[in-house]
Amino acid sequence: MNKAIKRIISILIFAIIPLKLFASPQMPDFIIYKKDTIATYNLILEKYLQKIDSANTNTLFGLSFRNNSSFNCWRGYQAIYKIEKDSLFIVDIINCGELINKKIDKTQSLEKLKSIFGEKLRNNKVYIDWFDGILNFPQTNDILRWDGVFYKIFEKEKLITISNGIILKTEDVSNYIDDPKKLDRRDKIKLSDILFEKLKKEKWNNKNGFDCGSKYFVTIDQNGTISKVRMAYTDKELEEFFEKDEINFCTNKIRNALKSLKFDIIKDKGKPISEDIFIEILIKDNGIIEN
């Protein structure tokens, strides 16, 4: 059986067997900053828990974590942090969704803090001396990117640089550079359509008979340009179903067809990022492609 036929069979099998399970969106933690309580997508407490007991995180200190927790709160709790003067503290560990009702069980929260931190608990709060990095939280509700589960990138954010729990710097950033001369990149779902419209203008029949109808990841780099194209398969699948010359021909052709495109720049915590855009194309016998 040649590789082209095996590839078709593989695609048919993939189409009828549900292989992908989707994770549920997760509740965020919160940070009290000045007079506001704001959602934050930084798992600071987990860094501490992993550090002291990485082997038994499901039952650590009696917290439920994944056991008996809801689909949208696999940790089984939410943490509340607070910035006071130049320092970061954890002030509460609450049950999932408890803050929605604005009735925090302070007694239960304090018991959890005591069981985890012991003598580190002072004045009903714990100084977070284990965290180094950037704590970010949104200043608008405009979401640029979301991993579908927890982490989100907002268009405008406040960044707080922290070292051993001490606040070193606070700044406001915009994570999107809107250039009127470049293509809009805010909606990731629309990017594959932009790529496809560009690819439609190409002729796909070739003297080698290579069939470029397949699945690809197209990388838009930190500068908003197309920097890489690769087939969206494992190394084993590539070896089994594709010829090397065919892979090189198709990925190079797609990259060359798209290289003139220029997109707006997206940032994460104020730094430009690259991202992969998934496309799947079908080549007809007459060389015309379908999305």
Listed by start position, the domains of the chain span 29-174, 178-290
Residues 6+ apart with CB under 8 A from 159: 134, 135, 136, 169, 170, 171, 172, 173, 269, 270
Q: What are phi and psi of 145, to 5 degrees?
A: -145, 150
State yes or no: pLDDT of 81 exceeds 90.
yes
Burial of 62 (0-12, 13-18, 19+ CB in 10 A): exposed
DSSP at 245: H
CA distance 212 to 7: 12
Residues 6+ apart with CB under 8 A from 16: none
Structure tokens at 6: 């095996």
CA distance 202 to 287: 9
What confidence tens digit (pLDDT) does each residue in 4-59 have?
A: 444 443 443 344 334 333 467 888 999 999 989 999 988 899 888 887 765 454 44
- What is the arithmetic mean of pLDDT over 145-154? 91
Structure tokens at 103: 């009735």
State yes or no: pLDDT of 152 exceeds 90.
yes
- What is the arithmetic mean of pLDDT over 67-80? 78
Read off the amino acid at residue 74.
W
pLDDT of residue 23: 64
Closest CA to 265 of 256, 252, 274: 274
Q: What are phi and psi of 214, to 5 degrees?
A: -170, -170
State yes or no: pLDDT of 207 exceeds 70.
yes
Read off the amino acid at residue 62.
G
- What is the arithmetic mean of pLDDT over 234-259? 94
Identify whether the C-beta of residue 52 lies closer than 8 Å to the C-beta of residue 99.
no
